[in-house]
């Protein structure tokens, strides 16, 4: 009985755990990105991949953002802040504004914009271009 | 004072502007440094008059800065950075550190035109932004080899991916002039002009390991009242060969550097090697540093070692006392060991503490440490504490 309860609890925890995906408009010119490409785009090392200029969007959902930074960018939030301070204050890049869910939906109507989100928030207007 | 007023006007205009094309950001460091050795003044750069000498000094590392970006359109923007710190004649001064027109069409290349920072080293472009760095100061044994930070000209940067790696090619062209006050020489000033400044920088890596190589070329001319007197005297005495060899008049100056940076499983390692070659009275030299840190969440302790040595003996008998003395003082050899930590408070603040032990080896002291006495080559113990911020 105890074992069954444990299995049920594990299944429940796994099912409610947010799974982060990278999505874009279904009409975008990109169909998939490598893990490295996602990292380099979000760290502003590159803006254009396979001749497509890609615009990454940031979410103002703090827990989602931290999870993305940790799991996809493989950095902790302190590293990420310090990294961006370097980019911003050397004039290399401007840190993108964090957007609300509504703003992200609006922006994703444009081709070749990408964002991270919980897989459960996926809808038919978008396509997944990266998931772990 | 005029520059300070200009910066204030600049800030007010930015603050008043409702236009989203304008972006204003602030950064700074508030610090205190204690040097236990009264025979030396410890300074952060060669432009500082005062420093810590058996005393606590709050100006050595302290700096306030503002950065403003005005977007002309999606691709073009003006970016300026102004700083205020204590330097030159011992007064707090505000100045435009750099400012340029930037073209970035998001096609993986960036073009800049204006007053631009020279990308010698990994952190040469963000030396004033304490929050973006692990240590309080970059190792002077490498970062101090070329005592200039900006030039007027153009810069081109191209970045892209090869398989799982990113790379960046950065190239510059321009010229610069700057004055270095010689406090120990009756207020004389070293006037330097470097023409045909050219540099090529290559970076290759992934998010774990990164390699960097830089080559810098320029034609340097440096003079001062005392140097003019010395070299004019040599020529009057028909010692043209000696004057030609040591006078820095349109001399080819080169600098090479290599760097390696690793960030793996919370271990942070960085090392850079630099070599300066100027065929004049300036001594050719080479130096390196290596630092290792470990990230315990927000707390990062680190340890580092750095050293710089002259390529050749600087005690030379040229037959002219004044020239012998000039060559002798070029020996800036030293080594230093640092132990410290950085603690991230939040996305806007960090604090750092560092203990640094410097052993000057040069006849007249080391890099940026100004002897107040008879240059005893005694050890300096430096204790530094700073709070960095960005907004």
Note whether B390 contacts A91, CB cutoff 8 Å: no
Whether A10 maps to a domain, the answer reads no
Q: What does the block give as tokens for B348?
A: 């806007």
What pLDDT is recorded for position B1?
46
Note whether A48 contacts B132, CB cutoff 8 Å: no
Note whether A49 contacts B161, CB cutoff 8 Å: yes
B residues 104-143 near A, CB within 8 Å?
A: 106-108, 110, 112, 117, 125-126, 128-129, 131-133
Note whether B298 contacts A78, CB cutoff 8 Å: yes
CB count, 10 Å around CB of A52? 12
pLDDT tens digits, one per residue of A56-108 = 999 999 999 999 999 999 998 888 988 999 999 998 888 888 999 999 999 99
- Quote the domain boundaries for residue A95: 19-131
Q: Whose structure tokens read 């991270």? A: A116
CB count, 10 Å around CB of A122? 14
**Number of compact structural domains in chain A:** 1
Note whether B344 contacts A78, CB cutoff 8 Å: yes
Whether A8 maps to a domain, the answer reads no
Q: E strands along chain B, which residues?
A: 22-35, 40-42, 55-57, 63-71, 76-87, 91-104, 109-117, 150-162, 165-182, 188-205, 209-223, 251-264, 267-278, 285-294, 299-310, 334-344, 349-360, 369-371, 380-390
Note whether B207 contacts A94, CB cutoff 8 Å: no
pLDDT tens digits, one per residue of B33-61 = 998 887 788 877 777 777 777 788 888 88
Residue B47's closest CA among B216, B222, B178? B178
Q: How many residues does chain A have?
A: 132
DSSP per-residue string spanning A104-122: HHHHTTSTTEEEEEEGGG-
CATH number at residue A94: 3.40.190.10
- Could you tell me the pLDDT band of residue B325, with boundaries at 50, 70 and 90? confident
Q: SS3 of B56, please?
A: strand
User: Are the CB atoms for B279 and B251 separated by under 8 Å?
Assistant: yes
Average pLDDT over residues B296-313: 94
Could you state, in order of their start, the residue ranges of all structural domains in chain B? 99-390
Whether A6 maps to a domain, the answer reads no
Whether A63 maps to a domain, the answer reads yes
Give ipTM to 2 decimals.
0.84
What pLDDT is recorded for position B204?
97
Whether A2 maps to a domain, the answer reads no
Nearest CA in chain A to B99: A91
Is the CA virtual torsion B239, B240, B245, B246 positive or negative?
A: positive
Answer yes or no: is pLDDT of A31 > 50.
yes
More confident residue, B352 or B370: B352
What pLDDT is recorded for position B247?
93
Task: Return the minimum-mean-pLDDT range out of B92-96, B127-131, B188-192, B384-388.
Answer: B92-96
Q: Measuring CA to CA, how many Å separate A87 from each of A91, B202, B386?
A: 6, 17, 21
pLDDT tens digits, one per residue of B197-237 = 999 999 999 989 999 999 999 999 999 999 999 999 999 99
Average pLDDT over residues B84-89: 76
Note whether A46 contacts B295, CB cutoff 8 Å: no
What pLDDT is recorded for position A1?
52
CB count, 10 Å around CB of B23? 18
B residues 325-344 near A, CB within 8 Å?
A: 344
Note whether B132 contacts A34, CB cutoff 8 Å: no
What pLDDT is recorded for position B17?
52
Answer yes or no: is pLDDT of A2 > 70.
no
Using a pLDDT cut of 90, give the percent of chain B over it: 63
What pLDDT is recorded for position A14?
47
Q: Whose structure tokens read 């810098």? A: B216
pLDDT tens digits, one per residue of B150-203 = 999 999 999 999 999 999 999 999 999 988 877 666 678 889 999 999 999 999
Answer yes or no: is pLDDT of A33 > 90.
yes
- Say yes or no: A94 contacts chain B, CB-CB below 8 A: yes
pLDDT tens digits, one per residue of B336-368 = 999 999 999 998 999 999 999 999 887 766 776
Whether A87 maps to a domain, the answer reads yes
Q: Is 0.90 surpassed by the pTM of this model?
A: no
Answer yes or no: is pLDDT of B78 > 80.
yes
DSSP per-residue string spanning B112-175: EEEEEE---STTSTTTT-GGG-SSSS--HHHHTSS---EEEEEEEEEEEEETTEEEEEEEEEEE
CB nearest to A91's CB, from B102, B297, B298: B102
- Say yes or no: B390 contacts chain A, CB-CB below 8 A: yes
Return mean pLDDT, chain B. Answer: 88
What pLDDT is recorded for position B312?
87
- Say yes or no: A34 contacts chain B, CB-CB below 8 A: yes
Answer yes or no: is pLDDT of B375 > 70.
no
- Say yes or no: B391 contacts chain A, CB-CB below 8 A: no
Note whether B106 contacts A79, CB cutoff 8 Å: no
Q: Measuring CA to CA, how many Å separate B24 from each of A87, A99, B14?
A: 15, 19, 7
Query: Top-level CATH class of B99-390?
Result: mainly beta
- Could you tell me the pLDDT band of residue B6, with boundaries at 50, 70 and 90? low
d(CA B11, CA B5): 10
Note whether B207 contacts A39, CB cutoff 8 Å: yes
User: Are the CB atoms for B338 and B304 separated by under 8 Å?
Assistant: yes
DSSP at B88: T
Q: SS3 of B26, please?
A: strand
User: Are the CB atoms for B82 and B65 separated by under 8 Å?
Assistant: yes
- Say yes or no: B168 contacts chain A, CB-CB below 8 A: yes
Task: Indicate which of A82, A83, A111, A114 best probes the interface with B, i.e. most B CBs within 10 Å of its own CB.
Answer: A82
- Could you tell me the pLDDT band of residue B331, with boundaries at 50, 70 and 90? confident
What pLDDT is recorded for position A71?
93
């Amino acid at each position: 009985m105890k074992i069954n309860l444990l299995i049920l609890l594990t299944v429940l925890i796994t099912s409610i755990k947010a799974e982060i995906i990278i999505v874009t408009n279904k009409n975008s010119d990109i169909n998939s990105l490598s893990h490295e490409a996602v990292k380099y785009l979000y760290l502003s090392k590159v803006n254009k991949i396979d001749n497509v200029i890609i615009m990454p969007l940031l979410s103002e959902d703090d827990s989602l953002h931290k999870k993305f930074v940790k799991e996809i960018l493989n950095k902790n939030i302190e590293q990420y802040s310090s990294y961006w301070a370097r980019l911003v204050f050397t004039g290399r890049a401007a840190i993108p504004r964090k957007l609300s869910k509504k703003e992200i939906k609006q922006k994703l109507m444009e081709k070749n914009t990408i964002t991270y989100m919980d897989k459960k928030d996926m809808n038919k207007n978008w396509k997944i271009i990266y998931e772990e | 004072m005029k520059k300070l007023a200009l910066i204030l006007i600049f800030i007010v205009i930015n603050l008043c502007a409702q236009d989203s094309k304008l972006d204003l950001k602030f950064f700074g460091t508030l610090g205190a440094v204690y040097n236990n050795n009264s025979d030396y003044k410890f300074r952060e750069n060669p432009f500082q008059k005062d420093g810590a000498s058996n005393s606590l000094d709050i100006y050595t590392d302290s700096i306030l800065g503002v950065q403003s970006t005005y977007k002309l359109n999606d691709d073009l923007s003006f970016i300026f950075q102004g700083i205020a710190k204590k330097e030159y004649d011992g007064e707090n001064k505000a100045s435009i550190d750099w400012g340029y027109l930037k073209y970035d069409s998001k096609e993986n290349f960036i073009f800049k035109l204006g007053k631009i920072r020279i990308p010698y080293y990994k952190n040469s472009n963000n030396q004033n932004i304490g929050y973006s760095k692990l240590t309080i100061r970059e190792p002077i044994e490498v970062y101090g080899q070329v005592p200039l930070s900006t030039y007027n000209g153009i810069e081109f940067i191209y970045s892209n991916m090869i398989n799982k790696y990113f790379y960046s090619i950065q190239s510059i062209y321009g010229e610069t002039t700057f004055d270095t006050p010689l406090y120990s020489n009756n207020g004389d000033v070293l006037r330097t002009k470097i023409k045909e400044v050219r540099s090529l920088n290559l970076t290759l890596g992934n998010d774990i390991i990164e390699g960097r190589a830089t080559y810098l070329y320029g034609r340097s001319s440096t003079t001062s009242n005392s140097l003019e007197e010395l070299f004019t005297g040599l020529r009057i005495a028909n010692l043209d060969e000696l004057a030609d060899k040591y006078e820095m008049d349109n001399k080819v100056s080169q600098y090479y550097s290599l760097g390696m940076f690793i960030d793996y499983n919370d271990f942070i390692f960085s090392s850079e090697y630099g070599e300066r070659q100027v065929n004049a009275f300036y001594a050719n030299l080479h130096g390196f540093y290596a630092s290792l840190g470990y990230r315990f969440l927000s707390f990062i302790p680190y340890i580092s070692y750095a050293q710089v040595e002259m390529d050749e003996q600087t005690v030379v008998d040229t037959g002219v006392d004044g020239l012998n003395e000039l060559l002798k003082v070029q020996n800036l050899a030293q080594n230093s060991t640092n132990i410290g930590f950085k603690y991230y408070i939040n996305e806007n603040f960090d604090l750092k503490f560092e203990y640094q032990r410097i052993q000057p080896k040069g006849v007249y002291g080391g890099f940026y440490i100004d002897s107040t006495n008879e240059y005893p080559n005694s050890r300096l113990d430096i204790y530094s504490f700073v709070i960095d911020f960005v907004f």
